[in-house]
Amino acid sequence: MTRIVIIGAGISGLATAFALEQAAQAQQREVQITVVEKESRCGGKIWSRNEEGYLCEWGPNGFLDNKPATLDLCAELDIDNTLLRSNDNARKRFIFSDNILHCLPENGPTFFSSKLLSWPGKLRLVAELAVAAKRGGRDETLAEFGRRRLGAEALDKLIAPMAGGIFAGDPETMSVKSCFPRIAQLEEQYGGLLKAMIKMARQKRRERKEGKQVASAAGPGGILTSFDDGIQQLTDGVVQNLKAKICSGISVDSIEYSEHYVLGLSDGSQLDADVVISAAPANALAEMVEKVSTEASALLSKIPYAAMNVVCFGYDRDQLGCDLNGFGYLIPRQEGCSVLGTLWDSSIFPHRAPEGKVLLRSMMGGATNPRAAGFTDDQVQVLVQADLARIMGIKVDPEFMRIFRHQHAIPQYVGGHANLVKQIRKELQDSPGLFLTGNAYDGIGLNDCVSNAKKTARQALDFIAQSE
């Protein structure tokens, strides 16, 4: 029987364990799977906390249904009948610029009537049609790509806020190919972004005529999807369907390899394994593999992480005089605000706040504001309330507040990230049966994590088959 140890019980580790069990059963292969999790609970950054009637997401609040991986997992877990799509409010997304909330345009006419970009900025963006495609060459940053194709104003008011909202990243350092591979692919395939958008917009119009629900052109593709009781229903569903042994509240301190792997645990015990799959953060794995490969350890430590404060405020709806019909807003750095943006959670999904109440969730920190990690709770509250007063006119104190702090919130895919990951895996080739998965390498989104988990499970089983 092959002994497999998975490090980390976030969505990546759990999905890998489940995929291994399903595939091993189909192949009639005997495996013994142990999942080791340093926290006392499973789920990693997925944690839906219901407090005082407010459903607060500690980390991500859902996934997009435009890719099959997570939807397929839900079907395999038999929880797809409980999926909850965001309501139509999610179509309306805003950017706060020049002290105004601008609704992101969804089509040509609304783009030209929008005051988000100046007329020179609009004309420069339209001129992207004439910008020659760049193929090959070094790994561009998102900022370089944005200025080259769309102009400086579009970068500042559209691209950079989006990068902050998704990655909590700095476009001046982010790799466009690693962070937004689809954008780089569109330039390669269609010769430009607007050319691609025109063709895809025609396709969306056809789908709407057919009665299909289509995501806003202003937002990412797909419909934001969760569950009535929050996104934690996904990780809970995996745990309930696993036969693997889960050891929580214990961490892996070291990994050594001779004829097999020996994992040193924080309680002083050891765990033997024929296959090790790490779904731990890159910085944590760097310390574990020092005895396996000092080179891989050094390279893993080069993957930076951005810190983040997630701030949940609850209000009495009657005390707010603002319109909350929308998804929320992002903020360009030039506006000088303390937060990256705010989601109107109770407008996106029902039952996120008690009857007559609203729940707002603000993101503070990221690669462009690392100091925020050191702010006290009082400082965080004052700064977030100041932004809400300026942007939404909310003058009253929240009746409910929770601050969730993530010291290592989101891995940053900076320039050269893909090559760095390639080097890491190359250095670990002398350690057969050691596999990496998780959001530090090939995509940070929930769909990416689930998709890569299934891929890693296949690779592990192929390795086992070849070793027999």
DSSP letter, residue 156: I
Structure tokens at 358: 């609203």
Structure tokens at 171: 């476009």
Euclidean distance between CA atoms 466 and 462, whole angstroms: 6
Euclidean distance between CA atoms 329 and 291, whole angstroms: 46
State the Rg of the chain over Cα.
23
Euclidean distance between CA atoms 356 and 351, whole angstroms: 11
Domain boundaries, the chain: 2-38+232-303+413-467, 63-89+305-411, 105-218
Structure tokens at 103: 């609704």
Per-residue pLDDT 10s for the chain (468 aa) are 999 999 999 999 999 999 999 999 999 999 999 999 999 999 999 999 999 999 999 999 999 998 999 999 999 999 999 999 998 777 899 999 999 999 998 777 888 899 999 999 999 999 999 999 887 778 999 999 999 999 999 999 999 999 999 999 999 999 999 999 989 889 988 889 988 888 877 777 777 777 765 554 444 568 899 999 999 999 999 999 999 999 999 999 999 998 899 999 999 999 999 999 999 999 999 999 999 999 999 999 999 999 999 999 999 999 998 989 999 999 999 999 999 999 999 999 999 999 999 999 999 999 999 999 999 999 999 999 999 999 999 999 999 999 999 999 999 999 999 999 999 999 999 899 999 999 999 999 999 999 999 999 999 999 999 987
Q: Quick check: helix, strand or coil at residue 384?
A: helix
pLDDT in tens, 214-257: 554 444 568 899 999 999 999 999 999 999 999 999 999 999 99
Residue 438 is predicted with a pLDDT of: 97
Residue 216 is predicted with a pLDDT of: 47
Q: Does domain 63-89+305-411 have CATH number 3.40.50.300?
A: no
The fold for domain 105-218 equals protoporphyrinogen ix oxidase, domain 3 (1.10.3110)
In this structure, the number of other CB atoms found within 10 A of the CB of residue 377 comes to: 13
210 Cβ neighbours under 8 A, 6+ residues apart: none
Euclidean distance between CA atoms 467 and 454, whole angstroms: 20
User: What is the residue-wise DSSP string for 385-451?
Assistant: HHHHHHHH---SPPSEEEEEEEEEEEE--BTTHHHHHHHHHHHTTTSTTEEE-STTTS--SHHHHHH
* Pairing between β-strand 400-411 and β-strand 305-316 as defined by DSSP bridges: antiparallel
Go through 285-324 and write b for each residue having 16 or more CB atoms within 10 A of its CB, e for each that does not.
bbebbbebbeebbebbeebbbbbbbbbbbbbeeeebeeeb
Q: How many CA atoms lie within 13 A of 218 on its CB side?
A: 25
- Residue 222 burial (C-beta neighbours within 10 Å; 0-12, 13-18, 19+): middle
Euclidean distance between CA atoms 367 and 303, whole angstroms: 13
Helix axes 181-190, 142-149, angle to 10 degrees: 30
For the four alpha carbons of 431, 434, 435 and 439, in that order, the dihedral sign comes to negative
CA angle 296, 301, 304 (to 5 degrees): 140
Put residue 356 in one of left, alpha, beta given phi > 0 → left and psi -120 to 50 → alpha: left
pLDDT in tens, 115-167: 999 999 999 999 999 999 887 778 999 999 999 999 999 999 999 999 999 99
Distance of CA 256 to the CA centre of its chain: 31
DSSP letter, residue 105: P
* Range 2-38+232-303+413-467: architecture per CATH: 3-Layer(bba) Sandwich (3.50)
| Average pLDDT in the chain | 94
Structure tokens at 174: 């982010």
Token match 């500042």: residue?
156
Residue 404 is predicted with a pLDDT of: 97
Residue 217 is predicted with a pLDDT of: 45
CA angle 406, 9, 65 (to 5 degrees): 80
Give the rounded percent of residues in the chain with a pLDDT score beyond 70.
98
Structure tokens at 131: 């910008």
Residue 146 is predicted with a pLDDT of: 96
